[in-house]
Each structure stands twice: as C-alpha cells, then as structure tokens.
C-alpha cells in the first residue's frame, strides 16, 4: 500500500475522550473512524467450519501466493519477503497476554496449539489494494482462545502486535510510512465472531514465514491489512487502541476496514477486484459487501453508518 500524508480530521469526530487527552493530534486522528457498536459483549458459541454455512470457493493456486505477500517489515514489494522472512526464528515462540483479562501471562505457542486443534477454513481474502485470492487456512477460532483467557467486563477491544526485529527486518531501520511494531485491533465482538481465526497453516502445511508464521490473524470480511502476521502480543483494552495503518493515514485506512464496494479508497474504487491468477482478458470480479460474508457478520454493524465508520 502506498499512502499520502494524513489530513486533519475534526476532533468532534473522535469518539474516545480518554485517549484524546493523552495523545498527539496525529494519533487522535487515527481514531476518527471508530465507534463502539451495539452487541459488543455478545459471546458467540464455539463453532466449527461445518456449521458456519459459508461458501467454499476454489482455492487460489498456491504457487501464486508464495511470492506475492505484503510484509512491510521486510519489504515494500510483494516478492522479497519470501526470502527475507526466512531469517525469522519462530521456534520457540511466546505470546504475551495482557490488559483486561483474568489470565494474563506469557504463553508458549505450543501450549496454545495443544488446547486448540486445527480446523480448515477456506476464505476469500481481499486486500485494500483491490486484489483478491482464496486461501485454505488451517487454524482455530480466536473466540476459543479468548474464552480461555477470560476477558474482564472492562475489555472492549483486542489489540495484536507483531514481532519487531530490526536486525532482520530492513524497514524497521528506515524512515517508514508505518510506525513499528505493526499493530492491529478488533472490537471484542469482532474478535469473538466465529469467522475470525488465528491461522497456523495454509494449504495443509505450516504457515510460510512470509505469510505470517507461526501465528497470524485472519478476518475474512475485512481488508487484508487487519490480518496481522507473526503475533507476539494480545492485549485486552477498554479504549480503542492505535492501529498501524489507521495511524499513518486515517482518511485512507479506517479502523473497521470492512470490505465495502460502496466506500472507495480516496485514490481508487473498491467496486471490483483483480483476482490473483487472472490474466489481462479475465474480467475483474465485483467486490461484495463484507467480502461475501454479510449473512454472517452484517449484524455486528447494524447500528453503524458504514461510510463514516469505514
């Protein structure tokens, strides 16, 4: 993604006075596209892939995905992370759990995986850059982990942080459009939705490092930048956290980032998408609201103006 400098957004649009008090204007504007919807604490029961009743589209050819990634810590082009990310050591891997939660601490990934058996989820994946693919992920519902960790009644948001290692991640040493570490967040009810998974594999194999090994988020109804890679921290918060792309360019990358053909990016339309693997003669695919998962997720946003809270 390429960004231009952010524009100021009036403070009356910002919905979180607590954060407002303590941060710089730049950071405050990052919260402009954020509101708290209704049904925040709805706790959706455990679900397996079978009872989600979602379409199972044809997966994209794996060879196309291997060298086509967005991993900005390593590179701003699509190809280089497949080589550069191999330097990342992913075993052992710990995840810090913090904030408004009954069971904070440092968890070994292997212990988390032992408790959460892997399921396959074939999901459409839509990048904000207007290309798309279909990925057969292996992973488990984030809700299962959250239920185990027991957020307190104060928790309303879940923040995720990626590992940051300047020794092996070239862009951490450069002047960058993003501030590191890469951070993303969901409302708690979005995090608890049965479609939201933590992925450990794809195409029946362990996740490739360039795709976010050993553990990444996958939120199929949102633009791909929400699906943060190589997670080392999960933080439960009362107030909306700062997220990387929203901080860099709040008028281009909203907090919600729900796939929506009616809300153009300021510099391109989101009405259609280039399907990865298509050629010059293949027509672009019409983009679907919530990336085709409206039946499952639209109710999360029933009280919201999706154009304002994009």
Residues that bind ligand MTE (CB under 6 A): 1, 69-73, 127, 162, 182, 211-212, 224-225, 227-230
Please give the Cα distance from 37 to 112 (Å, whole number): 30
CB proximity list for 13: less than 8 A, separation 6 or greater? 32
Q: Closer CB to ligand MTE, residue 116 or residue 162?
A: 162
Q: With respect to ligand MTE, which residue has the nearer C-beta, 65 or 155? A: 65
Q: How many CB atoms neighbour CB 250 within 10 A?
A: 25
Pair 246, 254: CB distance under 8 Å: yes
Residue 165 preceded by cis peptide, ω within 30:
no
Using the minimum distance from each CB to ligand MTE, give the nearer residue, 14 or 219. 219
C-beta of 184: minimal distance to ligand MTE in Å? 7
49 or 177: CB nearest ligand MTE: 177
Write down the least CB distance from residue 46 to ligand MTE, Å: 26
Least distance CB 213 / ligand MTE (angstroms): 10
Q: Tell me whether residue 73 or residue 190 sits nearer to ligand MTE (CB atom).
A: 73
Those residues whose C-beta lies under 8 Å from the C-beta of residue 278, and which sit 6 or more positions away, are 284
- The position carrying tokens 């009362």 is 238
Helices (H), the chain: 17-22, 25-29, 62-66, 81-84, 109-115, 142-149, 188-191, 244-248, 294-297
- Listing DSSP states for 159-203 in one string gives EEEE---TTT-GGGGS--SS-SS-EEEEEHHHHTSTT-EEEEEET
CB of 73 to ligand MTE, least distance (A): 6
Q: How far is the CB of 219 from ligand MTE (least distance, A)?
A: 10
The smaller minimum CB distance to ligand MTE, of residues 29 and 162, is found at 162
Closest distance between ligand MTE and the C-beta of residue 282, in Å? Answer: 20
Find the residue with minimal CB distance to ligand MTE: 224
Tell me, what DSSP letter sits at residue 157?
A: E
- C-beta of 35 vs 70, nearer to ligand MTE: 70
CB of 222 to ligand MTE, least distance (A): 10
Q: Could you say which DSSP state residue 262 is in? A: T
8 Å CB contact between 108 and 120: no
């Amino acid at each position: 993604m390429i960004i231009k400098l952010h524009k100021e957004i009036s403070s009356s649009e910002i919905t979180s006075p607590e954060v407002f008090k303590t941060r710089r204007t730049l950071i405050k504007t990052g919260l402009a596209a954020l509101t708290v919807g209704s049904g925040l604490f709805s706790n959706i029961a455990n679900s397996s892939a079978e009872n989600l009743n979602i379409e199972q589209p044809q997966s994209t050819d794996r060879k196309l995905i291997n060298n086509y990634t967005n991993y900005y810590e390593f590179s701003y082009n699509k190809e280089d992370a497949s080589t550069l990310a191999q330097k990342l050591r992913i075993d052992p891997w710990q995840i810090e759990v913090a904030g408004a939660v009954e069971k904070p601490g440092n968890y070994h990934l292997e212990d988390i995986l032992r408790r959460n058996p892997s399921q396959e989820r074939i999901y459409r994946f839509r990048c904000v850059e207007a290309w798309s693919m279909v990925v057969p992920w292996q992973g488990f519902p984030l809700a299962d982990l959250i239920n185990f960790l027991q957020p307190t009644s104060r928790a309303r948001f879940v923040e995720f942080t990626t590992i940051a290692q300047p020794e092996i991640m070239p862009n951490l040493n450069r002047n960058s459009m993003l501030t590191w570490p890469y951070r993303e967040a969901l409302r708690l009810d979005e995090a608890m939705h049965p479609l939201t998974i933590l992925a450990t594999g794809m195409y029946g194999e362990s996740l490739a490092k360039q795709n976010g090994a050993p553990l990444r988020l996958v939120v199929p109804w949102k633009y791909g930048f929400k699906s943060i890679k190589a997670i080392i921290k999960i933080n439960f918060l009362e107030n909306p956290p700062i997220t990387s792309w929203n901080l860099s360019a709040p008028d281009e990358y909203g907090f919600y980032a729900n796939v929506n053909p009616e809300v153009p990016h300021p510099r391109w339309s989101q009405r259609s998408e280039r399907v990865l693997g298509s050629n010059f003669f293949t027509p672009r695919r019409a983009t679907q609201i919530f990336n085709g998962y409206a039946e499952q997720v639209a109710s999360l946003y029933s009280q919201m103006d999706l154009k304002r809270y994009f």
